[in-house]
Structure 1
């Protein structure tokens, strides 16, 4: 037993070390990570997050995760906390996957394989490196809740499960996905005549009502304003297709890992049509709910893949059990150790390359030193109430680094007239009509413009062509221009 725990510790250390290696390859965070950075900074300074200061519209979010990070930041340097703590949370998925897999398989080697698969889910590994994402916490939490749910018949685990659900609901709206998975499991178990204890049913029903009530209270305002459209967060039509897209099987294989993906599909098929195991039905229910939500575009692609990849990683442990038992029945039983070693190598290769490749891409796509320097200059050399126009992706950097008002960012919920604002932004940034651009700049009170090219397919207008209306005030790349003209 101790040897298995040493192996588990080594897997956790390897995942955490790999994460830190890529995270510290850049001193900066992802573009959206600067929203979390700003909230943590506001909490440290004033005790409360910022819901509308400097941004173009009111922000709506659950701040519990930011309070946790701010708490650590009172002890350690904030920049260090925001690099390390989310990666500790994300790496803990290794330990939780091991516990959950062992609860299902009672096989320690299989559970270690599940831990490896969970530690290097390519999409989760790369997308939670520098994004200060709440999902670095909620994905391991959701897997731990599945573990606690399987043990609810033991003393104390009902309290653990309900307490965990409370934390989940107060941290992120994706708790509703977990509830849907539980309800689907209860229905599927009923259809398949699987025995469910009274306490199990009561826990599901209580948690469903409790979490739904909490989320309704938290999201009452957007639900009353947008109704079911709250799911799509008021994102402009031109951008929504990038975040809410149907699951592409080829992409799923790459983002989840070749071997775990097909192993997970095999296990789901086997237990759906050939065998029955209640614990597998629980995981299968979650996988099917997430797959359906992805297909119907009811959940963001990355979030859906986070959940799906984690479930499949745990199912990989059951695949190992099936694979090992099959070898024992064949003439290859004498070389089982060799086959298992080759199996381990195949698993690592199918995960490490896409994980590290995606991580390197995430590092390369982080804001450059030049962009950060330009925004730091703006913080020191522009008026305190100045409005800076920058690409949508840079909106949170304008508020977090330059500490100035932006025109648009990636938080669209409660943004009034967002379709018109986004259309106007494109007209300003990419239009060749100077008169229209200046008129729109006046409309939004823009004082400064950063003409940086984020989207490779779109090049911003060359402001140097009109030096009368656009005065360059910061010369190093990407440059900052002051808008000085009015159009009546």
Structure 2
């Protein structure tokens, strides 16, 4: 049967699974999704991103990469923004399926290996669960990165250098994870040179040009932030107190489970084979992506989620090479008649070890979306408060308040551009955990409302806020999941 049929079937199956989970709830997972929605709506209405945000940290200016928001804003012309957030990222994420197929086919000249590798990528637990309901830019940055790898493998083909540079330019404006891929390309040059693998002049030129042009672009774009924050800008100025919430230590067994046991074992086997016994340039590109992701995770220069996604897909591509050399070996052996059966067993092992985990993580991801009672509370806050009011919430709920209530928050998850971020974070913690009323803090920032939810209970490991019985605080809302208090003794 035509391989395009199987590729299309995998695409439709993966998209169906994604949409099945995504449409189980009307809301999205993670408050960063609602930052994206605010930007999309603002671009749709004005044509420009919201760089001067009056609601973030009491009002401030900051820079971010806007291409993802522009792409979604384009689709919002034709459908509601909420529908765009559910549908478009999942379609983009499924583009990783043909991308993996094309890479493996170009690397091995084996369509069967490409189809099986594409299936492994389609149901990789970490990528499926983290991109189906969070409007994540990884939905587009990963497929574009894979297509860049595909073009690099055939860079001597006419016009390929132009397409490669175009993809890198798009990635630069899309998401900062482009540096994972650019470092991988530089490592590829090093690996190839170390193993005596010849690299074409065109490859070397486009890689070096892309790397240095990208570095220059980011230095110019974020020059002011680099001056203000110094090296901490590399880690998004994340405060030390919560650094490990964003850059986790790696649990190796969990990481293997998130990427899939079968592609991990097959990919590692291929790297050992080619490092010590064989040389194949295309394999070295995938191996370089593996090393780039691993090093950046280890140095905590990449968020674990992003690092594991790129790490997993490097192994997925190498899995395709494993299938190819296995077929070659079986064709030359006395058990060639068993080739189809052995491949079926390998894919069955993948289904058993990865697909249930992918579905479980996806269900958990959807269940972690903001609840209806929280949304109701935030919409009521908009009715009770005035446009200039300041609300105290945990950092991971800041974007929720800004989107649903249209009110300014003392803190959110964008820490760049805040000089006193360590102090501000401590002050928010004290507002929730202090045994006595923190009058100075409340009056210093001009706090109007304190938002107390189940998320605050988990985030600060508390059961209640001790001083809220004081006459200066009035409970204005309580739906069982959320209590909202008005501070009426401002000085």
TM-score calculated relative to the size of structure 2:
0.95
- Quote the Cα distance in structure 2 between the aligned partners of 1:102 and 1:336: 19
> Residue 302 of structure 1: which of 305, 320, 327 is its match?
305
- The match for 2:292 is 289
The runs of 5 or more residues in structure 2 that have no matched partner are none
- Quote the Cα distance in structure 2 between the aligned partners of 1:481 and 1:288: 50
Alpha-carbon displacement from aligned partner over 1:254-304 (angstroms, at most 9, x marks no partner): 111111111111111111111110000111112112111111111111111
- The match for 1:45 is 45
Compare 179-188 and 146-155 and name the one that shifted more.
179-188
- The match for 1:173 is 176
> Residue 383 of structure 2: which of 380, 384, 388 is its match?
380
Runs (4+) of structure 1 exceeding 4 A deviation are none
Alpha-carbon displacement from aligned partner over 1:24-65 (angstroms, at most 9, x marks no partner): 111111222111011111112222222222110433311111
- Quote the Cα distance in structure 2 between the aligned partners of 1:296 and 1:196: 29
> Residue 108 of structure 1: which of 108, 111, 114 is its match?
111
> Residue 248 of structure 1: which of 247, 251, 256 is its match?
251
Where 1:451 maps in the other structure, the secondary structure is strand
| Match runs of 1:73-152 below 5 Å | 73-152=76-155
Where 2:454 maps in the other structure, the secondary structure is coil
- The match for 1:21 is 20
- The match for 2:397 is 394
Where 2:474 maps in the other structure, the secondary structure is strand
Contact 2:232 2:238 in 1 (8 A): no
Alpha-carbon displacement from aligned partner over 1:396-452 (angstroms, at most 9, x marks no partner): 01111111001111111111211111111111112222x22x432222211111111
Contact 2:390 2:409 in 1 (8 A): yes
> Residue 343 of structure 1: which of 313, 324, 346 is its match?
346
Where 2:219 maps in the other structure, the secondary structure is helix
Alpha-carbon displacement from aligned partner over 1:210-258 (angstroms, at most 9, x marks no partner): 2222222222222222333221111011211122234332121011111
Contact 2:433 2:465 in 1 (8 A): no
- The match for 2:35 is 35
- Quote the Cα distance in structure 1 between the aligned partners of 2:231 and 2:467: 45
CA 459–358 in structure 1, closer or farther in 2 if over 3 Å, else same: same
- Quote the Cα distance in structure 2 between the aligned partners of 1:114 and 1:63: 32
- Quote the Cα distance in structure 1 between the aligned partners of 2:133 and 2:94: 13
- Quote the Cα distance in structure 1 between the aligned partners of 2:104 and 2:411: 44
TM superposition shift of 1:316 = 1.0
CA 59–121 in structure 1, closer or farther in 2 if over 3 Å, else same: farther
Contact 1:29 1:130 in 2 (8 A): yes
Where 1:479 maps in the other structure, the secondary structure is strand
- Quote the Cα distance in structure 2 between the aligned partners of 1:376 and 1:417: 30
TM superposition shift of 1:330 = 4.6
- The match for 1:211 is 214
CA 103–91 in structure 1, closer or farther in 2 if over 3 Å, else same: same
The runs of 5 or more residues in structure 1 that have no matched partner are none
Compare 87-96 and 212-221 and name the one that shifted more.
212-221
Where 2:140 maps in the other structure, the secondary structure is helix
Compare 406-415 and 471-480 and name the one that shifted more.
471-480
> Residue 356 of structure 1: which of 324, 339, 359 is its match?
359
TM superposition shift of 1:329 = 4.7
Instruction: Tell me the matched-pair count.
Output: 484
- Quote the Cα distance in structure 1 between the aligned partners of 2:128 and 2:461: 29
Where 1:180 maps in the other structure, the secondary structure is helix
Contact 2:434 2:466 in 1 (8 A): no
CA 391–28 in structure 1, closer or farther in 2 if over 3 Å, else same: same
The alignment status of 1:440 with 2:441, answered yes or no, reads yes
Compare 164-173 and 5-14 and name the one that shifted more.
164-173
What is the aligned-residue RMSD (CA, Å)?
A: 1.7
- Quote the Cα distance in structure 2 between the aligned partners of 1:158 and 1:88: 27
Where 2:61 maps in the other structure, the secondary structure is coil
Contact 1:430 1:459 in 2 (8 A): yes
Contact 2:390 2:447 in 1 (8 A): yes
- The match for 1:482 is 486
- Quote the Cα distance in structure 2 between the aligned partners of 1:405 and 1:283: 45
- The match for 1:62 is 65
- Quote the Cα distance in structure 2 between the aligned partners of 1:26 and 1:464: 36
Compare 470-479 and 330-339 and name the one that shifted more.
330-339
Contact 2:62 2:416 in 1 (8 A): yes
Contact 2:247 2:300 in 1 (8 A): yes
Contact 2:432 2:460 in 1 (8 A): no
The alignment status of 1:452 with 2:456, answered yes or no, reads no
Where 2:361 maps in the other structure, the secondary structure is helix
Compare 106-115 and 214-223 and name the one that shifted more.
214-223
